[in-house]
Structure 1
Amino acid sequence: MFGGLSGLNNPPGTDWGERMLNTVASQTIRHLFTRSESVEVSVRCYPSSKLLQGSIDSFKMSGRGLIIRKDFYVEEMSFETDAVAIDFSSVLGGKLTLKQPTQAVAQVTLTEAGINNAFNAELVRKRLQNISLPGLAEISGGESISFSDVQVQLLPENEVKILAKADINNGELVPISLKATLAVERRRRVTFQNPKFEAEDIPESQQDLSRTLTNALAEILNNMVDLDRFDLDGVMMRINRLETQGQKLIFSGYAQIDRIPGNA
């Protein structure tokens, strides 16, 4: 399942307890993801005798090329905790169980290609199909509207350009083009602020209709990108900051880990 799994090669002098804990933690964390290129886990405990009481100084994980819930690609993910309390008896049984929830500093990097692939995932496509909005009833003759072929381009200063097509159920596909600024709301929801219609990308005969549909698409996206929908089992992510860097979108924040999750 995995292209590579490191974290099992410990520095010289690492005691047997840490080696065993690193091995168990690596085997546990890898099951968070459907696939991965690499996962590295490092657990520190000094002096090692604290491990017998279930006390760990820090727990660090970093992964690359991760697939979450079969469809969502993450270029890089990392988190690092402070002191953690674990059930040492669970480690002897080949598992990792927390005695109490803990928090970790976290960073997640998405790529432009990964974001666009996510729009093809069934979970996302369903939320873009058969939409009924009061403001669009006149356009669609009372029928629902579906959006497809969504393409996102990451721009400097947290801007994005979004292209899409709208099917208004009369056989006409209406192209959509907009620019917006990415922002974070309540540390869990990504919003598309100040959407601006890009008329130069749209045939003149369809511009009025496309402008109306642009605002509708922005409204739908604002209610769709919520981290709570994509949380790993037992791990809640929160965003403090996001930033576009070239063709990458980087989130930094924290993760609250209530329990070590099962398979993703």
Structure 2
Amino acid sequence: MFGGLTGLTNPKGTDWGEQILNTVVTQTIRHLFTKSESVEVFVRCHPSSKLLQGSIDSFTMKGRGLVIRRDFAAEEIFIETDAVAIDFSSVLSGKLRLRQPTQAIAQVVLTEDGINQAFKAELVTKRLLNQSLPALTVFSGGKPVSFNDVQVELLPENRLRILAKADLNNGELVPMSMTVAVGIERRRRISFTNPEIDLEQVPEAQRELSQNLSLALVEILDNMVDLDRFDLDGVKMRLNRLETEGKRLIFSGYAEIERIPRSG
């Protein structure tokens, strides 16, 4: 899907309006990311005179090496919009404003390394520290439990291996190892289901504890990744498909774009 878009450039004959629009859209999109290795944009508008009325057939964006909100890395992001109505006067001033909402298909590719880096982000770690679920405090004498050192390995057939440690806040660390299925629920939430707990490397005295804490961690993860918490201002993401492919996790879906966000 991405290969045919590599090295996108403005075609011969592109007039000044399309050139300006390509430049403005590229710079606008770059500003949505904390970091970007490359961002390529191709605007389609035939005849090009429609630009003066603010009408665009579509635009395509391919980005590589992108970082969102300082901690969330995407190896690739591909977006292609439906027809877009813009305020052309905003383009002449170096900005991009939509005259009406539009939709786009989207594909996002995450790597195993990027996912593990995300588990160190404050937005994620704060949801894993000092948890007080009743099922947890039973095992910690009423004290909150924290989950640390989370490591994820991508497996075939939409499964993950998760390694972690539970800190019972009483000096005891409990190792955990499990595999879970990942999927999509209500087109916006990533689900973690069907856990298979591996106790082989867990000391025998901690196995029952590790089993119960592992199930509790899966419950926390299953309620944690909701796209509505990560939406950019003015952009709503929805998912149609998720699949693991080697060391990559690929999401396909669409975006409802009400306005161009100022930053990510």
TM over 0.5: yes
| CA-CA distance at 1:8 after TM superposition | 9.2
Number of the residue aligned with 2:3: none
Q: Is the 8 A contact 2:239 2:252 kept in 1?
A: yes
Q: Is the 8 A contact 2:111 2:249 kept in 1?
A: yes
Q: Is the 8 A contact 2:43 2:58 kept in 1?
A: yes
Number of the residue aligned with 1:141: 141
| CA-CA distance at 1:138 after TM superposition | 1.9
Q: SS state of the match for residue 24, structure 2?
A: helix
Number of the residue aligned with 1:239: 239
Q: Is the 8 A contact 1:7 1:39 kept in 2?
A: no
- Work out the number of aligned pairs and report it: 259
Q: Is the 8 A contact 2:235 2:261 kept in 1?
A: yes
| CA-CA distance at 1:9 after TM superposition | 4.6
| CA-CA distance at 1:113 after TM superposition | 0.4
Number of the residue aligned with 2:189: 189
Residue identity opposite 1:132 in structure 2: S
Structure 2, unmatched stretches of 5+, are 1-5
Normalising by structure 2, we get a TM-score of 0.95
Q: Is the 8 A contact 2:137 2:145 kept in 1?
A: no
Partners in 1 of 2:212 and 2:218 — Cα distance?
10
Residue identity opposite 2:256 in structure 1: Q
Partners in 2 of 1:222 and 1:22 — Cα distance?
40
CA deviations 1:151-206 (Å, max 9, x no partner) are 00000000111000000111000001111100100011101111111112322221
* Alignment map for 1:193-212 (pairs within 5 Å): 193-212=193-212
Q: Is the 8 A contact 1:188 1:237 kept in 2?
A: yes
Q: SS state of the match for residue 157, structure 1?
A: coil
Number of the residue aligned with 1:16: 16
Q: Is the 8 A contact 2:39 2:63 kept in 1?
A: yes
Partners in 2 of 1:20 and 1:7 — Cα distance?
19
Number of the residue aligned with 1:97: 97
Q: SS state of the match for residue 139, structure 1?
A: coil
* Alignment map for 1:102-113 (pairs within 5 Å): 102-113=102-113
Number of the residue aligned with 1:167: 167
Structure 1, unmatched stretches of 5+, are 1-5
Number of the residue aligned with 1:117: 117
- CA separation of 1:9 and 1:24: change in aligned 2, threshold 3 A: same
> What CA RMSD, in Å, does the superposition of the two structures yield over aligned residues?
1.3
Partners in 2 of 1:234 and 1:8 — Cα distance?
27
Q: Is the 8 A contact 1:7 1:22 kept in 2?
A: no
Q: Is the 8 A contact 1:175 1:210 kept in 2?
A: yes
Q: SS state of the match for residue 242, structure 1?
A: strand
1:132 partnered with 2:120: no
Q: Is the 8 A contact 2:146 2:166 kept in 1?
A: yes
Task: Indicate the larger mover: 191-200 or 153-162.
Answer: 191-200
Number of the residue aligned with 2:155: 155
| CA-CA distance at 1:237 after TM superposition | 1.1
Q: Is the 8 A contact 1:183 1:192 kept in 2?
A: yes
Residue identity opposite 1:125 in structure 2: T
Number of the residue aligned with 1:44: 44
Number of the residue aligned with 1:54: 54
Residue identity opposite 2:25 in structure 1: A
Runs of 4 or more consecutive aligned structure 1 residues displaced over 6 Å after TM superposition: none
Residue identity opposite 1:131 in structure 2: Q
